[in-house]
Amino acid sequence: MKLLLIQLEDYMLPCLNKSLFGFDCMGCGLQRSLNLILQGEFLAAFYMYPTIYPLLSLFAVIGINIFKKIKYFNKIITILAIVTVATIMVSFIIKTFIN
């Protein structure tokens, strides 16, 4: 398993925004954060990209709804989407202007 994860790092895409303009985009850290989750480093994944858990929750609810219909699906998706977008924006602002 560890060998597979090391090989995944070799195929990660570089951030085009960071390459061209010199600063991180709102998605910088997502690939590395997913890789850290696969390695079992859950806290490190959060520090790498704080939006990872709301984003995974959003996709999990959407995936579950495909197989078993959720009663308040639209409300849950709306709340998770707002939390995800807000987390993306707050973490980007903190990463860009405070650090």
| Residues 80 and 58: beta-carbon distance below 8 Å | yes
Domain residue ranges of the chain, discontinuous segments joined by +: 2-98
Identity of the amino acid at 40: G
Phi, psi of 13 (to 5 degrees): -80, 140
User: Is the pTM of the predicted complex or chain greater than 0.95?
Assistant: no
Residue 29 burial (CB < 10 Å; 0-12/13-18/19+)?
Answer: buried
Q: Render 31-78 in DSSP notation, one character per residue.
A: HHHHHHHHHT-HHHHHHH-TTHHHHHHHHHHHHHHHHS--TTHHHHHH
* pLDDT tens digits, one per residue of 7-61: 677 777 677 777 777 777 888 888 889 988 988 899 999 999 999 999 999 999 9
Q: What is the pLDDT of residues 49-94, one digit of tens each?
A: 999 999 999 999 999 999 998 889 999 999 999 999 999 999 989 8
